[in-house]
């Protein structure tokens, strides 16, 4: 099997490549990132995919800075929307499956239950709206698609876990939002899920997050506990924190479709975080 990966230098892209090398050493990987492929350029995308002729295209490329999306709307929709349009059309042309990684931010956060794949989308910021457009492009242009929504992702790269540890070491205290609730998810677990999915023909929309939920404040407390760090963690509100972009207050996802097809291998978020620490991603 030949797998074409965009955003290969990001947290998820690196983990998918790592697991392919470990689980499927005979597979061929075509790894691309912004330095050798601009997914917003249709000609570049078609040239690359028609030349490689992959069996699967996994799109890990995205503009994920939620606050900057508010002031860079054109860039957000170009990368997260038009980029997916190009990848969807090109993958369809060569008969390849497409994996589009999406987000909990396509929901508005007003639900009183974990969101299922069938719940209505209503993004409240530019990032979420641009990712919704990407979902629409994947769904419309390549019927052999897997749209995988995830949340609060951390792995081998810049992320909330590493930011907390850095701030804890530098300042000894942090203020963290306590009125946004979600499910922290490790790239280790998400990559496993994606690699399981691509070996099926169960196309459609999936939620892929760790079990359970917490606030960012509770997440930070658990990070410092596992890191054995004595850091003062103070809860604050979204309003007090003052971010430019609105965030969903509650964006917990239910891996309902994965459960239905027997592929929900996600553990509780605390267990996933422990595995992350044990994997050596955090330099103590």
Please give the backbone phi and psi of residue 100, each rounded to the nearest 5 degrees, phi first: -110, 120
| pTM for the whole structure | 0.96
The mean pLDDT of 239-254, rounded to a whole number, is 94
Domain ranges of the chain: 2-159+182-213+250-269
- Nearby residues of 247 by Cβ (< 8 Å), 6 or more positions away: 66, 105, 109, 124, 125, 180, 238
Are the CB atoms for 196 and 258 separated by under 8 Å?
no
Distance CA 56, CA 221 (A): 39
Residue 283, pLDDT > 80, answer no
3-state secondary structure of 161: helix
- Work out the pLDDT band at 260, boundaries 50, 70, 90: very high
Residue 284, pLDDT > 90, answer no
Alpha helices in 172-209 (DSSP H): 187-197
Distance CA 277, CA 283 (A): 9
Distance CA 111, CA 252 (A): 9
Q: Going along the chain, which residue ranges are E strands?
A: 2-6, 28-31, 56-59, 97-103, 145-150, 153-154, 173-177, 181-182, 185-186, 204-207, 214-215, 232-236
Cα distances from 275 to residues 162, 192, 233, in angstroms, run: 15, 13, 23
CATH class name, domain 2-159+182-213+250-269: alpha beta
Span 193-227, pLDDT tens digits: 999 999 999 999 999 999 999 999 999 999 999 99
Render 259-275 in DSSP notation, one character per residue.
HHTT-----BHHHHHHH
Span 165-174, pLDDT tens digits: 999 999 999 9
Please give the backbone phi and psi of residue 215, each rounded to the nearest 5 degrees, phi first: -90, 165
- pLDDT score at 192: 97
Render 17-54 in DSSP notation, one character per residue.
HHHHHHH-TTSEEEE--TTT--TT-HHHHHHHHHHH--
Residue 257, pLDDT > 50, answer yes
The mean pLDDT of 246-271, rounded to a whole number, is 97
Phi-psi label, residue 25: left if phi above 0, alpha if psi -120 to 50, beta otherwise = alpha
Residue 99, pLDDT > 50, answer yes
- Work out the pLDDT band at 280, boundaries 50, 70, 90: confident
Span 48-79, pLDDT tens digits: 999 999 999 999 999 999 999 999 999 999 99
Are the CB atoms for 206 and 257 separated by under 8 Å?
yes
The mean pLDDT of 242-248, rounded to a whole number, is 93
Closest CA to 184 of 152, 157, 207: 152
- Work out the pLDDT band at 281, boundaries 50, 70, 90: confident
Catalytic residues: 127
The single residue listed with the structure tokens 């992959």 is 54
Are the CB atoms for 13 and 33 separated by under 8 Å?
yes
Cα Rg, the chain, nearest whole Å? 18
- pLDDT score at 242: 84
Span 123-162, pLDDT tens digits: 999 999 999 999 999 999 999 999 999 999 999 999 999 9
Q: What rounded mean pLDDT belongs to the chain? A: 97
The mean pLDDT of 179-185, rounded to a whole number, is 98
């Amino acid at each position: 099997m030949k797998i074409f990966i965009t955003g290969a230098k990001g947290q998820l892209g690196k983990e998918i490549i790592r697991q392919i090398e470990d689980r499927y050493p005979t597979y061929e990987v075509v790894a691309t990132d912004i330095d050798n492929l601009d997914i917003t350029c249709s000609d570049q995308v078609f040239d690359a995919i028609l030349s490689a002729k992959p069996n699967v295209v996994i799109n890990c490329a995205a503009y994920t800075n939620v606050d900057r999306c508010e002031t860079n709307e054109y860039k957000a929709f170009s990368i997260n929307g038009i980029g997916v349009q190009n990848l969807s059309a090109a993958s369809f042309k060569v008969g390849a499956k497409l994996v589009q990684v999406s987000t909990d931010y396509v929901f508005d956060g007003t639900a009183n239950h974990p969101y299922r794949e069938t719940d209505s989308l209503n993004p409240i910021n530019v990032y979420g709206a641009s990712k919704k457009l990407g979902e629409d492009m994947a769904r419309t242009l390549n019927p052999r698609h897997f749209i995988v929504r995830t949340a609060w992702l951390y792995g081998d790269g810049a992320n909330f876990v590493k930011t907390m540890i850095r701030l804890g070491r530098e300042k000894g205290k942090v203020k963290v939002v306590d009125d946004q609730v979600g499910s922290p998810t490790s790239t280790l677990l998400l990559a496993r899920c994606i690699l399981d999915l691509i070996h099926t023909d169960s196309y459609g929309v999936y939620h892929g997050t760790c079990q359970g939920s917490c606030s960012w404040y509770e997440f930070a407390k658990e990070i410092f506990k596992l890191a054995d760090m004595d850091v003062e963690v103070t809860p604050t509100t979204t309003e007090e924190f003052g971010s430019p972009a609105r965030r969903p207050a509650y964006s917990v996802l239910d891996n309902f479709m994965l459960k239905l097809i027997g592929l929900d291998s996600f553990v509780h978020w605390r267990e996933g975080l422990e595995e992350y620490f044990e994997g050596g991603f955090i330099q103590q």
